[in-house]
Structure 1
Amino acid sequence: MSANEDELSPVFSSPFYDAIQRFEDLLSQSGRAFLIGAGCSKCAQLPLMAELTEKTLESDGLDDDSKNILGSIQGLFNGSSPPAHIEDYLSELVDLIAIANRRGAKNAVAKTVTLGDVEYSEEQLLAAAEQIKQAIAGIIGGNVAIGTHRRFVEAVHRSRRPGKVTANQSVDYLILNYDTLIEDSLALCRVPYADGMDGGVSGWWNPRTFDRQDLGARVLKLHGSIDWHELPETTLPYRIADKVDMSEGQEKRILIWPASTKYRETQLDPYAQLADRARRALNPLRGTQRVLAIFGYSFGDSHINIEIERALKGSAGDLTVMAFTHEDAPVGKLKEWHEDQSISDQVLIFANKGFFHGQDIRQSDQPLLWWKFEHITTILEGGR
């Protein structure tokens, strides 16, 4: 028995095997969407948020101003629970940029923002934000082990279990990560998909690509992507090949948004367009069944949580959420949904030490580990 099979053996035994069958049956019979968070990238040898934070703080790509700004913001989060990470720091920074920008637009005397007894201009804050994004892109943009993600895409789009019929509809992938693992896997598995970009290695933002009729998947990068860039004349992203020289006065900024930023990006396209597409993916037409499977997400993004909850409550039972969590039992937002009688029957929770679905609660005295992305992939492949 392989290490994978050994770790999974408890979930293929009573009383949890029935929960696995529910998971498979829902995915094979309903319109499907997947919400994929940072935890799904660990098996590709990309860092989790704590490690990404540490690596970014230590990055040689940050100049003295940026290091001081980031260090001061980190200090503001001392004692936070759960511990703050680089996206929280970046969110704080872009909020500070908005403050400086608003003061400047009103010609206020105090145009700067004070951090650690040092005053910083909007330009210094913007430079720091860009350097932090560049550092993040450098950390997660290197070589990756894509094997598990390819297997996952194959399992989702080409069912391998005899007797299991995979739903024919286009699959919506709601991606919270900046990496391109899902897009690369879809391409390598020859699944026609749209991510809002038109063109080729270099491309431009064109949301009409999402409306193509031949799509096997739509990829909604809700927080942007490390291969998206913003040029001075527009906030809409471009995909620019590495070999393209942009030195002719064309500043190329990485277009990613931290999870909780309230800065201008969240109100403009493409973010607003992506949010609208995600909302459509979560809200099925009345009488049409829809399932949202959530992997690798810690429910730390209030915007995402609000949209899921609204969709659950507005769907009249047509939306089902299946959430996999490393927590032993539902906590935070998942606990709220499980205890909310108006929607609890629509929420299936696959926790580390139990299965929770309304009044159906099955607890385990040992870790189930079905929340690991590599194990989810094995289950989808029909393995056990």
Structure 2
Amino acid sequence: MAGNEIINISLWITDCGLCFSTGSLAPIQISPFNKDVYNLTQYLKLGDDQSPVQLDAHGDNGAFKVVGDCVWAKAEDEITPDFIRSRVEPWLTALFQSEHLNLLVGAGLSAAVQESATGQPPQGMGWIEDLKICRSEINAHVEKAATAAGRNKGNIEDQIRSLNELIKGIEVLTALDRPNQKLLDGLEQLQKELSRALKEFSRSISHGENLIRNSDSDLKTETFNYLVNFLMSFSSRTATRDRLHIFTTNYDRILETGAEIAGLRLVDRFVGSIAPIFRSSRLEVDYHYNPPGIRGEPRYLEGVARFTKLHGSLDWYANEGAIRRFGLPFGAASVEPFLQVEGAGTANYQQLMIYPNSVKDRETSEYPYVELFRDLASATCRPNSTLVTYGYSFGDEHINRVLTDMLTIPSTHIVIIAYADPLGRIMSFIKDSGRQAQISLLLGDHLGGLKTLVDYYLPKAAIDRTSIRMAELLKSRGLYPAAIQSTIGDEE
């Protein structure tokens, strides 16, 4: 009976084209990013708002008007960016001084940086148009998984995941001492197709970096200045407070490059200099310095943040049972020459640690992802913790579960900042959480745009003790406006 079952499965795989695929492996066609699908209405929700307040454009001077119920403005009022800043900036300043501050960055930041530096809309995730193996079945599985995850269509990540799962299934069927030869041939074809998909996926990531690196010098400088100020707005915390912890789902190294330019020291799980190795031990490693003339009293160094890439990185690879990071320059045209060095002349793209997300949380149960998601849960799910999300579309259910658990702690708070919500997942998360009082929202091309966010709404990108002392001095002399005096204590 078992033999008949294997024969039937083998025939099904053959019908899919597994054993008869021929021809050259064409590059993946990447569809451009379409901004027209976005709803550019602004939504704002701060501490005293029961629900998100809708703001529509009003006139040609950049002002807005309130649509619907609002406790702090009337429908006929003209809401200027300066007025919005007077509400948003103090609120964010207070939240950023929480005992524990975390930042979760999604693909929206990479898209904003690329568009700002190049002046062109960023490319999409991509899609393999010419799968040589079981194309109809894999694409049908991808679309079903995307629908279950709340997305309107699948992407190359879903295709790679489906290929991975199909390979795992056939490996089970070929585990006998004398496996079916057709299955072995099909498994070899699948492995080649997976390598091709990973190769083209890595090319799409490195291509985005390359476009930024080779962009106009003035645009690139301006863009990275904004990125530096964005990062320093979060990391400019008194050194005695818990360190900022940055999490990202992105595979590119835009955040690392911005931190390097800013002089921000990132602490992660990698140890070493030539080929740093990922370590499972989670030690509270930190930076200290000894003040001149003082011994035995080391002080915490400012400008330090912890850093975790939840889905891996373009420069991570698996080798001999360990995860290492190789020296890949930002904007490199391809990772192939570097993989050839690591693989003794052969580039094995299946060693790259850029495994895509899974609706079944498959990757969170495998090394090193289980360690990375444990870091996310331990950093966010504790009292007096604030998490700010930027450019994250709430499309990863395993991350959303951690955030939902976080909100069960009354003293926690989530700030959601995004350019758009085309699939409605952000609004659905807020509604379904049942914890609206613990969520703030800045949504829209104005409120969530990188440049307007830095220029208007984020706290000052510095530890400004001088302004606080000046305000205290003016207050003691009775020269400080009464309306502002009440906010000084919160800023401190």
Which residue of structure 2 aligns with residue 180 of structure 1?
253
Q: Secondary structure at the match of 1:255?
A: coil
The equivalent residue for 1:348 is 440
Equivalent residues in 2 for 1:55-66, closer than 5 Å: 57=128
2:246–2:307 CA contact under 8 A, matched in 1: yes
Matched, 1:303 2:376: no
Tell me the distance in 1 between the aligned counterparts of 2:163 and 2:202. Answer: 17
Render the CA deviation track for 1:132-154: whole Å, top value 9, x for unaligned.
Answer: 22222222224225613223223
What displacement does 1:324 show? 1.9
Which residue does 1:12 correspond to in 2? Answer: 81
Superposed displacement of residue 19, structure 1: 3.4
Structure 1 CA distance for aligned equivalents of residues 317 and 195 of structure 2: 11
Cross-structure match for 1:218? 306
Does structure 2 retain, via aligned residues, the 8 Å contact 1:194–1:219?
yes
SS at match of 1:213: coil
Whichever residue aligns with residue 437 of structure 2, its letter is D
Structure 2 equivalent of residue 374 of structure 1: 451
Partner Cα distance (2:422, 2:86) in 1 = 18
Q: 2:428, 2:239 → 1: CA distance?
A: 30
Give CA-to-partner distance per residue, 1:191-243, whole Å, 9 cap, x none.
22223222235321124476212282111111000000112x21534435566
Following superposition, the deviation at residue 42 of structure 1 comes to 1.0
Contact 1:103 1:111 in 2 (8 A): no
Q: Note closer, same or farther for the CA distance 1:48–1:167 as it changes in structure 2 (3 Å cut).
A: farther
Once the two structures are TM-superposed, the CA of residue 14 in structure 1 deviates from its matched residue by: 4.2
3-state DSSP of counterpart to 1:82: coil
- After TM superposition, the structure 1 = structure 2 runs for residues 185-224 of structure 1, keeping only pairs within 5 Å, are 185-200=258-273, 202-208=275-281, 211-214=284-287, 216-224=304-312
Deviation at 1:334, TM superposition (A): 3.9
1:27 CA drift (Å): 1.1
1:258 to 356, 360, 368: 356
Give the Cα–Cα distance (whole angstroms) in 2 for the partners of residues 312 and 14 of structure 1. Answer: 29
Preserved contact between residue 310 and residue 373 of structure 2 (Cα < 8 Å): yes
Question: TM-score, normalization: structure 2?
Answer: 0.59
Contact 1:350–1:370 (CA<8 Å) still a contact in 2?
yes
After superposition, residues 278-297 of structure 1 pair within 5 angstroms as 278-284=376-382, 288-297=383-392
Q: Do the aligned partners of residues 333 and 44 (structure 1) sit closer, same or farther apart at CA in structure 2, a change above 3 Å counting?
A: closer
Structure index of larger Rg: 2
Q: Give the SS at the match of 1:105.
A: coil
State the alpha-carbon separation in 2 of the partners of residues 11 and 134 from structure 1: 48
Q: Is the Cα–Cα contact under 8 Å of residues 98 and 386 in structure 2 kept in the other structure?
A: no
Match of 2:431 among 318, 321, 338: 338
CA-CA distance at 1:120 after TM superposition: 7.2
The yes-or-no answer on 1:239 pairing with 2:326 is: yes
Alignment of 1:31 onto 2:119: no
Please report how far the alpha carbon of residue 279 of structure 1 lies from its aligned counterpart in structure 2 after TM superposition.
0.9
Q: 2:316 aligns with which of 201, 223, 228?
A: 228
Partner Cα separation in structure 2 for residue 124 and residue 73 of structure 1: 14
Amino acid at match of 1:282: T
Distance 2:459 2:91 in 1: 15
- Name the amino acid aligned to 1:246: E
Count of paired positions: 338
Residue aligning to 2:234: 156
* Aligned-CA RMSD value: 3.7
Q: More displaced, 168-177 or 139-148?
A: 139-148
Consecutive unaligned residues of structure 2, counting only runs of 5 or more, are 1-60, 65-78, 213-219, 288-300, 329-336, 462-492
Name the counterpart of 1:162: none
Deviations 1:29-73 (A, max 9, x none): 44210111101101222798972315xx37xxxxx7x55566763
Percent identity of equivalent pairs: 20
Alignment CA distance shift 1:183-1:106 (3 Å): farther
CA distance in 2, matches of 1:110, 1:334: 51
Q: Deviations over 1:313-370 (max 9, x none)?
A: 1x2x1210111234479933643433544x2211112233xxxxxxxxxxxxxxx621
CA 1:175–1:15: 2 relative to 1, 3 Å: closer
Shift of 1:110: 7.2
Aligned partner of residue 313 in structure 2, secondary structure: strand
**Aligned residue among 113, 127, 132 for 1:44:** 113
Matched residue type, 2:103: F
* Counterpart for residue 364 of structure 1: none
1-side partners of 2:356 and 2:392: how far apart? 15
1:324 aligns with: 417
One-letter code aligned to 2:405: R
Q: TM-score, normalised by structure 1?
A: 0.74
